[in-house]
Amino acid sequence: MIKSRVILSILIAITVVAISPVNAQKYEGIVDKTIAIVGDKAISLFDLESEIQVLKSQGYPVDKDTRCEILEGMLGAKIYVAQAIMDSLYVNEDQVQAELDSRISNALATLGGEAEFEKYFKKPVYKVRAMWRDAIYEQLQTQQMQQEIIKKVPELTPTDVKNFCDTVSEDLPIIPTQYQIRQIVLYPDQESAKLLVKEKLLEIRERIQNGEKFSTLARIYSQDHSNASRGGELGMYSKSVFWSQFSDAAMSLKEGQVSQIVETPDGFHLIQMIEKKGDAFNARHILIKPEYTAEDRIKAFDKLDTIRNAIVEDSVSFESLAKLYSEDPKTRTNGGLMADLNTGSSFFEKDQLKPSDYNILKNMKEGEVSQPFESTDNEGRSGNVIYKIIKLEKIVPAHTAIFTSDYPVLRDYAQNKESSKAVEKFLEEKKKSTFIMIDDMFKGCSFVEEGWIK
């Protein structure tokens, strides 16, 4: 079951897919029906069914219970919004516009254009846009109000955390198996590969200048598979969605104009401007990434083999050779020790590792050094090709969190529990003093929280 507070986070999703003919017939003619009132705020069946389609696009199964859970999340949201208005909490308009543009663009692309969009929703695009704008604004207000409640929760002291652990000792989090790893990284010959990409894009740009369609060439050559089939069209998005190098180049173009070659962490692009609206734009692009040869791989593997032999056979320390030979600036100075970029921790769970790294790591023992293998770094969306060897420094088996060794995890766990209690307490108190009416068609719902049906 999807709990109501989880639904609140899902509601902000920005993808829409078409409903089935059966569902369309079931709700035909009543999509504007008011199904609930909270205070002076109404919820329509259209609001509910729009969010159902968001869930479907995320792969969630949908049935009557799901609709009840979605509705419960929306009821709670109306209470948070009412308090946000009373407290004069305002949402950033740029964030609302970016979410709205993204949602509309994805809906148009999924449904097959404006005509199909309007046929499906039985409303013109501008009306759906207005309704979605209000919904997104309220969703962001809800999040903001919840954060305001959480801010008032006192920060727990170590004594508080210890008392919490003693109280709920049977319900403490499980820490998955963790790995501490060192690496020595070599990059392929990037300059040669980049030169070949630039030459290819210059040739494509010349063909466009000579009259060939940008969209046709994007379908043939672009390596951005998420939009190549649409002729490289990205949809209308805020410029903040893209790499700054990409958005700066795009915003400098006039409609129909094609850029020079633009480099981003994803690779190299040609951009054609379609339309600009304030800080948002719709453009086409052709992305080509540097590719490396078998010769690059052989050369890197030979060098890594030599380094590995020095470690395994001659007992030279992995750390000293990482400082000497590794080409990864983030780990080289620490003797190749890998660390999480967000937390700084040198211990990784399986899901935090790249599949290529874990595939090698899972068969290793502590202290072992791997054979050379190909992986990717953390640059761009998909990473750049690298060649590496790794040393499995330490394995920490899965275990129930322990106060002495897992304090940061337990502190966050306890703090989150206290925050959740504060949010739930606020909602319970507000429900008692708020007028709530739910249509008979949903009075059979088994809501997670009590107090909605009065």
Domain identity same for 300 and 246 = no
Claim to verify: residue 267 and residue 297 sit in the same structural domain: no
DSSP string, 267-293: EEEEEEEEEEETTEEEEEEEEE-----
Angle of CA points 9, 420, 6, to nearest 5°: 25
φ/ψ bin of 224: left (φ > 0), alpha (ψ from -120 to 50), beta (otherwise) = beta
| Buried b or exposed e, range 8-30, using 16+ CB within 10 angstroms | bebbebbbbebbeeeeeeeeeee
Q: Which of 329, 399, 408, 392 is nearest to 180 (CA)?
A: 392
Whether residue 421 lies inside any domain: the answer is: yes
Residues 183, 209, single domain; the answer is no
Q: Give the integer Cα–Cα distance in Å for 86 and 83.
A: 5
Q: Is residue 423 classed as helix, strand or coil in its secondary structure?
A: helix
Q: What is the extent of the structural domain holding 348?
A: 178-188+292-400
Claim to verify: residue 386 and residue 277 sit in the same structural domain: no
Residue 388 lies in a domain: yes
When divided into structural domains, the chain yields a total of 3
CATH number, domain of 334, equals 3.10.50.40
Question: Do 184 and 330 fall within a single domain?
Answer: yes
Label the pairing between strands 436-438 and 34-38: antiparallel
CATH number of the domain to which 48 belongs: 1.10.4030
Q: Is residue 35 part of a domain?
A: yes
Residue 190 confidence (pLDDT) = 80
> Which residues of the chain register pLDDT less than 70?
1-32, 54-59, 110, 380
Tokens linked to 174: 């499980």
Residues written for the chain: 454
In a domain, 173, yes or no: no
The reply to whether 27 and 136 lie within a common domain is yes
183 and 148 both lie in a single domain? no
- The reply to whether 437 and 379 lie within a common domain is no
Q: Give the three-class secondary structure for 385.
A: strand
The answer to whether residues 135 and 24 belong to one domain is: yes
Q: Cβ–Cβ contacts within 10 Å for residue 331, how many?
A: 19
Give the pLDDT confidence score for residue 418 in this predicted structure: 95
Looking at the fold, whether 238 and 327 belong to one and the same domain comes out as: no
For 104-113, the pLDDT digits (tens) are 877 777 677 7
Sheet holding 41-44, edge to edge: 41-44, 34-38, 436-438
Amino acid code (one letter) for 143: Q
Residues 19, 126 share a domain: yes
Reading the block at residue 211, the tokens are 């009259």
Co-location of 183 and 327 in the same domain: yes
**410 inside domain:** no
pLDDT on residue 100: 86
| pLDDT attached to residue 403 | 92
Whether 334 maps to a domain, the answer reads: yes
CA 54 – CA 50 distance, rounded (Å): 7
Give just the sign of the alpha carbon dihedral 368, 369, 371, 376.
Answer: positive
